[in-house]
Structure 1
Amino acid sequence: MADYLPEHLIVQILQRLPIKSLIRFTSVSKRWRLIILSDPNFAKSQFQQSRSRRVLCLDRKESEFDSRDMESPWSTGESSTDRKLSCPFKQPGYNLNALFSCNGLVCAALSDRNWTDLNIYLWNPSTQFFKKLPGAPLRFPFTRCYGFGYLSATGDYRVLIGNFCTLNNNHHIFSSNTNSWKSIQSPLPVQRDDQWILSNEALHSVEKEILAFDLNHDKFQTMPLPDPEPGQYIRELGDFRGCLCAFDYKNQCIGFIDLWVMKEYNVGESWTKFFTLKIFDLQPMVVRYLRPIMVMETSTILEIELSNDRRLIDTEFKLIKSCHKEEKFETHKISRKMYAKMIGYEESLLWLGVHNNRNCPMELAKKARNASEAEGQNNGEQGRMNSVNVANQGSNPVNVCVQNHGSSSVDVQLQTKQATVKEQVSRAPKRSRKV
């Protein structure tokens, strides 16, 4: 019986593990770190096999994020999988005005208080890799970030921005493949600057009708809403099983909302009412604010503000997990004084291309550095020689952040060790060879 597992079996086992475990395992060995953090094929397979749905909540006071598990039972209180995440690109005096998610990546828009400067970042909360996008050629202070999407055929991530509430319908779209912006025109002025919904590789917003932006063809189009029913009030969209869906709020005052699904994309006749979601018990309540965060297979996550009287004095914010096939829901009370933004996302190891232009996460670099130092101590004199060599270079090679190349920090460390060996060989005394 073999006393070891082939690498391809190890990789298959790792692909089935959650992200939190994989991040810890990056300190097991250099090879595991390279596979987990730098192999795009591994990241894709892991994302397909071990999806974890979570809600990312921005802590207004601490400028940090709470990452909350949405699939574990809420009755037990805080889950052991809930955790704090730092915001590596937060700037003093800047506020987060938009958050979008796609494939485990988060698009975040930061602006100063006067809306005279807008910075957009792509960030993976699981690995802490982030990238600042080049400045957009739009005039401030009316520029808003509308949405974030992905084209599977080309592996291209796209970001849509535009001028909000102006007569100028000029918009710009960013492409990660070209790392540049392109100007486009909208047929209608945009009246809402909240999150546009990604579905069928297009971004969608709703007014009297649906305004959609096709990411494949960089083109705006309008789409019909469900056939109006008496009192129908649709103001939010979502994605369910890859299909565009819409939320009808006409019965929210009695504790229900309806979820409609467009079974065939861009075909108005295919709109079908799928579920009626319960959002609170039948008692006198006033709904001041209600927004869907994530539509899952068996339930929908919503953020709601409720009041016991119409003076809106006694209000409370809650996260609601409403079941699709039965009138059952769970609630989790939240503090609106603490949380400023909330979005749904899925954990992943995915990144742009081959991890070019990435920032090394400090916590991972620290773990890798500790593992490297332990290895150096075990290797005795060789470990001390490596430490001296690193000191002469002025930095630890594990912490090197490769900005312009596809190689990882592990490759840099290996190259450093190889250079050390070559230097030792060149200094060794040459011996004459007898014939």
Structure 2
Amino acid sequence: MSSSHLGNGFFPEEVVLQILARLPIKYLFRFKSVCKLWCRLPSDKYFIQLYNELSIKNPMVLVEVIKSLCVKSSFICVDSSRGVSEFSLDFLNDRVKIRASCNGLLCCASIPNKGVYYVCNPMTREFKLLPRTRERPATRFHPDDEATLVGLACNLSTPKFSVVLAGFHRPFGRRPLNSFICLVYDSETNKWRRSISSRSDGFTHMNRNQVVFASGSLHWLTESSYILVFDLDDEVWRKIRLPNEVVCESGNRVHLLELDGCVSMIQISEAWMNIWVLKDYEREEWYMADRVSLRCIRGLVPSVFPISQTGEFVILATQKQVLVYHRYSRVWKEIYSVTSNFTYPLWFSAHAFRSTIFSCHQGVE
């Protein structure tokens, strides 16, 4: 094993790589001029795999801090281990809002230009402007001229990503009112594909905000007692029922998350937070992975919203705070708090995130 000079001593190269793989991405690019080894790291396949494997164990939360409708929003990244840092999407040269997040990539919709979407990596500041869909302006998504559902799928083991836009459309020509249009963008072909079906599913704003990519499919929680699933390989829709214990109990709030590559659901009642995991995807079998008392945050329970989780902790947002619950020690901690006179709840625009080295240009012709 070769050695590399670091500071005043000599360390094995593997030790240096392990240290650097735990740094924020911006420092990796800043330190490229140190030596030849460090210069090639952001493009080295082994280091990229190492960095991304470590990143998966350290999920973060991106929050769009909306101060007012007239003032441009700012963005922060809340990391349970590194604290809070600001980041910007100014490199897009557009006013955007985040619609989906997956493994370090974001899908952003242009605010002034309806139907314009970007996929970007905010840590490396790379972005891809997606081609316009043929669905506009002939028909418009209902009710706010944009897709009801926006999903982003990015598997770190393959150099490609997909974007799904789906929703009900206003009548056009002979198309019935309940036509459900699904558009799938494939980064390998740089093209959209379209399918039409009839559905009667209902979604709230927060249901749309929490789309989960797992097992090769995108998942959305509906207002009914099931999850709507879109299989990206076969491009077909299916449904997965929630646990009977959740469906039968009243007064619960249910949120969809990902946990170690599996679909997970967090059920919040007045006194408890139950964490469910879909252990058998085909048989639709769930098991309760954890049951957490909410006594310590009793006053915050009505507004608490889970955003991200691992086997070790859960990150949640409230009206003005971001909290982390450590599952082993059973300890709650506040990791971010808004000090200004804030009117929008933080969970209104919070997204699970991972800092990864993944190019949104890979696979694009």
Q: Settle same-fold status: TM greater than 0.5.
A: yes
Residue by residue over 1:80-103, the C-alpha shift from the partner in whole angstroms, topping out at 9 and shown as x without a partner, is xx32212135556x441x432222
> Aligned with 1:349: secondary structure?
coil
Query: What TM-score, normalized to structure 1?
Result: 0.65
| CA distance in 1 between partners of 2:19 and 2:200 (Å) | 46
Q: What per-residue deviation string (whole Å, max 9, x for no partner) do you get for residues 100-124 of structure 1?
A: 2222122222233xxx712211111
User: Which gives a bigger RCO, structure 1 or 2 (Cα 8 Å, sep 6+)?
Assistant: 2
Gaps of 5+ in 2: 6-11, 171-177
Contact (CA 8 Å) 2:312, 2:326: kept in 1 or not?
A: yes
State the one-letter code of the partner of 1:320: L
Q: 1:95 to 1:128 in 2, by over 3 A?
A: closer
Corresponding residue number in structure 1 for 2:30: 24
Listed as ranges, the matches of 1:257-406 within 5 Å are: 257-268=273-284, 270-279=285-294, 281=296, 285=299, 287-305=301-319, 317-325=320-328, 327-331=330-334, 332-334=336-338, 336-337=342-343, 341-352=349-360, 354=362
Distance in 1 separating the partners of 2:307 and 2:30:
29
What is the CA–CA distance in structure 2 between the aligned matches of 1:25 and 1:36, rounded to whole Å? 10
The alignment's C-alpha RMSD in Å is 3.1
In the TM superposition, 1:25-104 aligns within 5 A as: 25-29=31-35, 32-33=38-39, 35-49=40-54, 51=56, 52-60=58-66, 61-71=71-81, 79=83, 82-89=84-91, 94-96=95-97, 98-104=98-104
**1:3, 1:231 → 2: CA distance?**
61
Counterpart of 1:231 in 2: which secondary structure?
Answer: coil
For 1:233, the aligned partner's letter is N
TM-score by length of 2: 0.76
Determine the structure 2 residue equivalent to 1:110.
110
The alpha-carbon deviation at position 231 of structure 1 amounts to 2.3
What secondary structure is seen at the aligned counterpart in 2 of 1:22?
helix
- Asked whether 1:191 is paired with 2:202, we answer yes
Shift of 1:222: 0.8
Q: Deviation at 1:59?
A: 3.2
**Closer, same or farther: CA 23–158 of 1 in aligned 2, 3 Å:** same
Q: Is contact 1:111–1:118 with CA below 8 Å preserved after alignment?
A: no
Distance 2:51 2:156 in 1: 16
C-alpha deviations, 1:128-180, integer Å up to 9, x for none? 11111111233335332521112567533111112247622111011111111
State the SS of the aligned residue for 1:169.
strand
Deviations 1:357-411 (A, max 9, x none): xxxxxxxxxxxxxxxxxxxxxxxxxxxxxxxxxxxxxxxxxxxxxxx8xxxxxxx
- Report the AA paired with residue 306 of structure 2: P
The residue identity in structure 2 corresponding to 1:292 is P
For the pair 1:160 / 2:164, whether they are aligned, the reply is yes
Distance 2:360 2:45 in 1: 9
Larger Rg: 1
The aligned counterpart of 1:361 is none
SS in 1 for 2:51: helix
CA distance in 2, matches of 1:91, 1:3: 43
- CA drift at 1:182: 0.6
CA contact (8 A) 1:232 1:248 kept: no
Q: Any stretches of 5+ residues in structure 1 without a counterpart? A: 73-78, 306-316, 357-403, 405-435
Measure, in 2, the Cα distance between the counterparts of 1:49 and 1:333. Answer: 27
Structure 1 counterpart of 2:183, which letter? H
1:213 to 230, 240, 244: 230
Q: Distance in 1 between matches of 2:235 and 2:3?
A: 55
In structure 2, how many angstroms separate the alpha carbons of the residues matched to 1:322 and 1:31? 38
Q: Secondary structure at the match of 2:52?
A: helix
Amino acid at match of 1:101: S
Instruction: Give the number of the structure whose residues are more often strand, by fraction.
Output: 2
Corresponding residue to 1:202 among 217, 223, 226? 217
Q: Distance in 2 between matches of 1:48 and 1:172?
A: 31
Cα distance in 1 between the residues matched to 2:3 and 2:200: 66
State the match for 2:175 in structure 1: none
SS at match of 1:281: helix
Structure 1 pair 212/295, CA: closer, same or farther in 2 (3 Å)? same
8 A Cα contact 1:277 1:322, kept in partner: no
User: Per residue, is there more helix in 1 or in 2?
Assistant: 1
**Residue 366 of structure 1: aligned partner:** none
- Whether 2:182 is the aligned partner of 1:182: answer no
Conserved 8 A contact 1:260-1:273: yes
Identity of aligned residues (%): 22
Alpha carbons of structure 1 residues 141 and 337: separation in structure 2 relative to 1, 3 Å:
same
Q: CA 1:4–1:22 in 2, change beyond 3 Å: closer, same or farther? A: closer
Q: What number of residue pairs does the alignment pair up?
A: 323
CA deviation after TM superposition for structure 1 residue 183, in Å? 0.7
What's the secondary structure of 2:48's corresponding residue?
A: helix
CA spacing shift, 1:3–1:287, aligned 2, 3 Å: closer
Q: Which moved more, 1:142-151 or 1:10-19?
A: 10-19
> Are the aligned partners of 2:60 and 2:354 in contact in 1 as well (CA < 8 Å)?
yes
2:132 pairs with 1:135: yes
Deviation at 1:323, TM superposition (A): 2.9
SS in 2 for 1:350: coil
Report how far residue 286 of structure 1 moved: 6.9
Contact 1:146-1:195 at 8 Å conserved across structures: no
